[in-house]
Amino acid sequence: MELSMNTQSLSLPFKSLINHSFNHQLPFTTKLITKPRTTRLTVTARRKEPIEGLSDDLNAIASYNLDFAYTRRKVRAAFAEVQQQLDHCLFKNAPAAIRTEEWYERNSRGMEIFCKSWMPEPGIPIRASVCFCHGYGDTCTFFFEGIARRIAAAGYAVFAMDYPGFGLSEGLHGYIPNFDDLVDDVIEHYRRVKARPDLRGLPRFLLGQSMGGAVSLKVHLKEPNNWDGVVLVAPMCKIADDVLPSDAIMKVLTLLSNVMPKAKLFPNQDLAELAFREPSKRNLAVYNVICYEDNPRLKTGLELLRTTKEIESQVQKVSAPLLILHGAADKVTDPLVSQFLYEKASSKDKTLKLYEDGYHCILEGEPDDRIFAVHDDIISWLDFRCQLK
């Protein structure tokens, strides 16, 4: 089903700039309709490609409009069994005795937030809590399921939430009107987690992947003494200059965001081939059916840029014990930025691990042995810090 959206009128001087820049970068068609006194930008989304091997009914469900949480929840429920049967080491080899719980809670802004926990099997004492921050467009209910189970099997209580506008939480899909509000939502939820009777007095760690790395760093900077360590996987701390829109385009985007902040017009690259090194695992990513796949909404894109600039200017204030993991061949977030963070952070306890030939998704998109090696590196780092407490 194609989706058409007519935005507010644009003034004529934008015409050539938009035609030149947008038509070659966006995953939908754009055309300018000029009438005597107005110019209107019409955006038509491309139809989702069907997933091979699925029934027509499931493909129809996968093509639902995911703008609102109630639809995303229906789609996730329809695909839950299919996802568990995927031929991926995170699903096939996931520890089975882990105790899991899912629930919703309302944050102080009145939004219903999806939450999930993975606890060690009965009889294994909890060593610490690990609070996860997922990446842009993602959710904590797909690949992270297997990652969380492996960490929980090592004796850790793992917690995750979907940010407002992502996954199963309320909010317009993929929309971040203010990144600092999102960070405050994370702080609010994990403050409740840390207050649980079974976790009081235990070490607590943040684990952030990609954009979740930026979230984790902002959380740490806002409450620098409340965490015993931060683990960052391919963190988004700075946008590489070669993927930034030009200054001229940035001016247009900024102006457009003031009148239609939710429009999916922020230039973006197709990153699927850059994120997963293993082709078979890249093919399975399409089953993450509630992820946000369209171009970033205008306000979202600008908020991500603003946030990375803020973090870049404050990296010397990062003081928590720090583990940074990055694929050396990552073309989505630059490993040199992780090197910059490692060198500039004031943390006395800091470690940087670069994985040769690794792409962006080193937790789930590499060969099996590499995936397990990265998980083991995280667990070993956590184990050692817990021994120090």
Beta carbons of 168 and 206 less than 8 angstroms apart: no
Q: How many CB atoms lie within 10 A of CB 50?
A: 14
Instruction: Name the one residue in this structure whose structure tokens are 């620098």.
Output: 224
φ, ψ (nearest 5 deg) of residue 316: -70, -15
CA quadruple 72, 74, 80, 83: dihedral positive or negative? negative
Q: Name residues whose C-beta falls within 8 Å of residue 63's C-beta, 6 or more positions apart in sequence.
A: 1, 47, 48
Q: Name residues whose C-beta falls within 8 Å of residue 17's C-beta, 6 or more positions apart in sequence.
A: 248, 249, 252
Could you give the 3-state DSSP secondary structure of residue 261? coil
The token pair at 54 is 């699925």
Closest CA to 22 of 190, 179, 313, 249: 249
CA quadruple 283, 285, 289, 294: dihedral positive or negative? negative
Beta carbons of 290 and 76 less than 8 angstroms apart: yes
Instruction: Name the one residue in this structure whose structure tokens are 């105790």.
Output: 99
Give dist(CA 199, CA 254) in Å, integer.
Answer: 44
User: What separation in angstroms does the CA of 259 have from each of 8, 179, 254, 262?
Assistant: 7, 19, 9, 9
Alpha helices in 48-131 (DSSP H): 56-62, 69-84, 89-92
Beta carbons of 194 and 203 less than 8 angstroms apart: no
Catalytic residue ranges: 210, 330, 360
The token pair at 169 is 């939480």
The token pair at 129 is 């809590």
